[in-house]
Amino acid sequence: MALMTGKEYIESIRKLDQKVYMFGERVEDPTRNPILRPSLNSVRMTYDLAFQEEYRDLMTVISPETGQRINRFTHIHRSSEDLVNKVKMQRLLGQKTASCFQRCVGMDAFNAVYSTTYETDQVHGTGYFKNFQNFMLYVQENDLTVDGAMTDPKGDRSLPPHAQEDPDLFLRVVVRRPDGIVVRGAKVHQTGAVNSHEILVMPTIALGPEDQDYAVSFAVPSDEKGIFMVVGRQSCDTRKTENAPMDVGNQKFGGMEALIVFDNVFIPNERIFLNGETDFSGMMVERFAGYHRQSYGGCKVGVGDVLIGAAALAADYNSIPKASHIKDKLIEMTHLNETLYCCGIACSSEGVPTKSGNYMIDLLLANVCKQNVTRFPYEITRLAEDIAGGLMVTAPSQADIRNPELKPYIEKYLKGNKNVPTENRLKILRLLENLTLGTAAVGYRTESLHGAGSPQAQRIMIARQGNLLEKKELAKQIAGISEE
């Protein structure tokens, strides 16, 4: 099949027998749930755009393994051009959805596990690379969405996994059998988990010899026995149940996060990609983190494009587009947004091949990219809220505007530009609220800080990759210092 249409994707998710809980009750059909459906629509866009001629070369690629055209989200990067196109694709999807489109984590896990299994096999004589290749082909041929699952609950952050009071606070192997393993634990902050066919699990930190049971990577269907998900709450999420699309802001798209619990789940040998080789857990974590930090130079920039456009419209609707301070704020927002994009493109352009043949981004620049993402979207958001004004968070509801008695007064007293309907002004303010404070904040503001690791995680990598010794030598040469 190789490529699914958006409609086929929706039906494929509907057929899954996932155990999904929200507000204390099981969700019988997540594809029809009004709170979850916008997130499904966002993933669908990754399928729909693949069939549009103008985006085909960005959204799809010819698989080197099969010669078939596949979705780029299932592709193994083979060049710096692949890495650059990945970032461009992510910006496009951010522009089209103004939300998290959820397939990036699986794509980044794909590429990290691909190269790590290859190098693990070289040292340990294992068969993980072949296992992963088979899984990769299965995903490509069926155009599946994969949830990349790395983050564990962690419990007491000062203790390694084996020293935790509750050993399940890091996902672990509890039974090893001739035909596979049984795992128990959980993964948190799982972007798009409910909208995924498969879950690709990785360790969450580099591990020592005492943590062999935690050095595990595998793939498992999202509806496998023993797996259930608890959907995380987002600000303003129940507005989606009120049949008032104007109050939601982003009327069609959204994101979702979940806690995934693995309650004694069996994983067959052919689905295992790491099983006790602690010396390669750090490599898998570092490579995944690098790819995912690169991703933020695309997806957050695309959402930022929409946010900047909404702020500019708010200025128009408030009749202040020519005010010098408004112009300057929009320029600053654009400058910050494009700087993020520069970082995403730069770390991609400097990509190098791994031993397995797939391409790895420049790790230093990828971490610089994500470090900037932990800061710039907050300033872009602040400036957008400044331009919008306080009505962004105090405007009346759609029901008030539809009330024939209230409507004339709302239209009169909340009007801005005389040439713009009051309702249009309120719609754009609701979109700004959605992007900065509401459900999309998970996919933009807050996720910009914590997604792909906290700011300190990037600073550790920047220190490691920054090569201060070489820089000191450069200074010595210029200054004419010799220590011989």
Catalytic residue (choose from 292, 317, 354, 381): 292
Three-state SS at 266:
strand
Three-state SS at 420:
coil
Catalytic residue (choose from 299, 343, 347, 369): 299
Run of H or E including 40: helix 37-48
Cβ(297)–Cβ(218) under 8 Å?
Answer: no
Catalytic residue (choose from 60, 100, 120, 369): 100
Q: How far apart are CA 240 and CA 369, in angstroms?
A: 33
Q: How far apart are CA 312 and CA 237, in angstroms?
A: 26
Run of H or E including 260: strand 258-268
Catalytic residue (choose from 191, 204, 278, 422): 191
Catalytic, 270? Answer: no
44-77 as b/e, with b when 16 or more CB fall inside 10 Å? bbbbbbbeeeebeebbbbebeeeeeebbbbbbbb
Catalytic, 100? Answer: yes
Catalytic, 296? Answer: yes
Q: How far apart are CA 313 and CA 269, in angstroms?
A: 55
Crossing angle between the packed helical segments 324-349 and 281-317, to the nearest 10 degrees: 160
Catalytic, 369? Answer: no
Cβ(278)–Cβ(122) under 8 Å?
Answer: no
Phi, psi for 215 (deg, rounded to 5): -85, 75
Q: Which residues pair with 71 in a beta bridge?
A: 60
Catalytic residue (choose from 97, 104, 341, 359): 104
Which residues sit in the known binding site? 191
Cβ(284)–Cβ(274) under 8 Å?
Answer: yes
Catalytic, 292? Answer: yes
Catalytic, 447? Answer: yes
Catalytic residue (choose from 119, 198, 257, 277): 257
Q: How far apart are CA 204 and CA 221, in angstroms?
A: 20
Which residues sit in the known binding site for FAD? 191
Counting Cα atoms < 13 Å in the Cβ hemisphere of 295 gives: 27
Catalytic residue (choose from 47, 114, 296, 444): 296
Q: How far apart are CA 302 and CA 307, in angstroms?
A: 9
Crossing angle between the packed helical segments 6-14 and 37-48, to the nearest 10 degrees: 140
Catalytic, 347? Answer: no
Catalytic residues: 100, 104, 191, 257, 292, 296, 299, 447
